[in-house]
Amino acid sequence: MKKILVATDKPFAKVASDQIKAIFAKANYNCVFLEKYTQQSDFILAVEDVDAVIIRSDKVDKDVIENGRNLKIVVRAGAGYDNVDLAAATEKGVVVMNTPGQNSNAVAELVFGMVVFQLRNHFDGSSGTELKDKKLGIHAYGNVGKNVARIAKGFGMQVFAFDPFVSKQEIEKDGVTVVESVEELYKTCQFVSLHIPATAQTKKSINHQLLSSMPSNAVLINTARKEVINEEDLKQIFAERKDFCYVSDIQPDCAAELTEYSKRLFFSPKKMGAQTEEANINAGIAAANQIIAFFENNDIRFKVN
């Protein structure tokens, strides 16, 4: 009997876990959960005798891969897989997959939830500002970026995007204006929403040059990864621009140094964008089905390594 580990430091909603359990029970697989663990060593130990692992932002490092004696597949229930050591997995012949698109609506909705809350001064009774007719730049037009564009149009925003990996026609058919460079996006748009993955090229790439070029009352929204921000530059921008605002679904590492500024919004040290029942169900079910399809039919459609 195949043994599957669901290792989630930030657990799925119960309704999603129940559905994952039911899918594996029907396939006659043994499914065990490791939730809210505090030590990486707990994960390393739990992986010892399992055939497959489902994770979220959990760290699959070399030790996890090496200790998984029977491990054949890791499925990241979500989009970004920067938390997985792909080289170590590939070296050991472990397949890594993600579940693209399954949690993107949740993230896109939170972009606007956070922005409206911030623009209305956290509902403190004072007058805020609106989104209608304002310019929004979407930095990377993947599944989340596309959903952000859809919702932004409902708010009556002017939507721009930059993504060198998506064709101009693909973006324009959503009624979004394509800009030719990242510099142009930041220079044009009062609001910029980040949706780039964290890679060697993108880490710390959101820097002083880009942020200082944004129009007045600039708002940077980050539901991508905190690592893509150059935090030294972020601190400098806050010091230089009284009108600059940073909104994110995860605290930056320098959060404690930004407490004197009011134009900022972030709550949790854990990423919250995809934390809805619907996203948990979509991504969790997709992950479970992808594991079964892999073992039963050798289906490697969502392989990323």
Q: Note whether 195 binds ligand 3PG by CB under 6 A.
A: no
Strand 245-248 to 95-98 pairing: unpaired
Q: Which of 17, 57, 202, 282 binds ligand 3PG (CB under 6 A)?
A: 57
Please state the separation of Cα 273 from the chain's center in Å: 7
Question: In this structure, are residues 240 and 228 in contact, taking their beta carbons and an 8 Å threshold?
Answer: no
Phi, psi of 168 (to 5 degrees): -60, -45
Q: Which of 10, 21, 153, 203 binds ligand 3PG (CB under 6 A)?
A: 10
| Size, binding site for ligand 3PG by CB under 6 A | 11
Q: Note whether 230 binds ligand 3PG by CB under 6 A.
A: no
Q: Is 301 exposed, middle or buried (0-12, 13-18, 19+ CB in 10 A)?
A: exposed
Three-class SS of residue 126?
A: coil
Q: Which of 16, 274, 285, 286 binds ligand 3PG (CB under 6 A)?
A: 274
Q: Note whether 79 binds ligand 3PG by CB under 6 A.
A: yes
9-13: Cβ within 8 A, 24+ apart: 9/35, 9/36, 9/37, 9/56, 9/57, 9/58, 9/270, 10/36, 10/56, 10/57, 10/270, 10/271, 10/275, 11/35, 11/36, 12/56, 12/77, 12/280, 12/284, 13/276, 13/277, 13/280, 13/281
CA dist 302 and 188 (Å) reads 36
Q: Note whether 78 binds ligand 3PG by CB under 6 A.
A: yes
CA dist 4 and 19 (Å) reads 14
Q: At its nearest, how many Å lie between ligand 3PG and the CB of residue 105?
A: 12
Tokens of 222: 């980050």
Q: Which of 56, 134, 146, 263 binds ligand 3PG (CB under 6 A)?
A: 56
Q: Residue 141 or residue 238: which is nearer to ligand 3PG going by CB? A: 141
Q: Note whether 146 binds ligand 3PG by CB under 6 A.
A: no
Q: At its nearest, how many Å lie between ligand 3PG and the CB of residue 46?
A: 18
Please state the separation of Cα 26 from the chain's center in Å: 30
CA dist 153 and 187 (Å) reads 20
Of the candidate spans 76-84, 169-177, 178-186, 259-267, the one that interacts with ligand 3PG by CB under 6 A turns out to be 76-84
Of the candidate spans 115-123, 163-171, 266-274, 284-292, the one that interacts with ligand 3PG by CB under 6 A turns out to be 266-274
Q: Residue 60 or residue 237: which is nearer to ligand 3PG going by CB? A: 60
Q: Note whether 103 binds ligand 3PG by CB under 6 A.
A: yes
Q: At its nearest, how many Å lie between ligand 3PG and the CB of residue 271?
A: 5
Of the candidate spans 119-127, 151-159, 258-266, 270-278, the one that interacts with ligand 3PG by CB under 6 A turns out to be 270-278
Q: Note whether 282 binds ligand 3PG by CB under 6 A.
A: no
Beta bridge partners of 282: none
Instruction: Give contact residues for ligand 3PG (rule: CB under 6 A).
Output: 10, 56-57, 78-80, 103, 271, 273-275
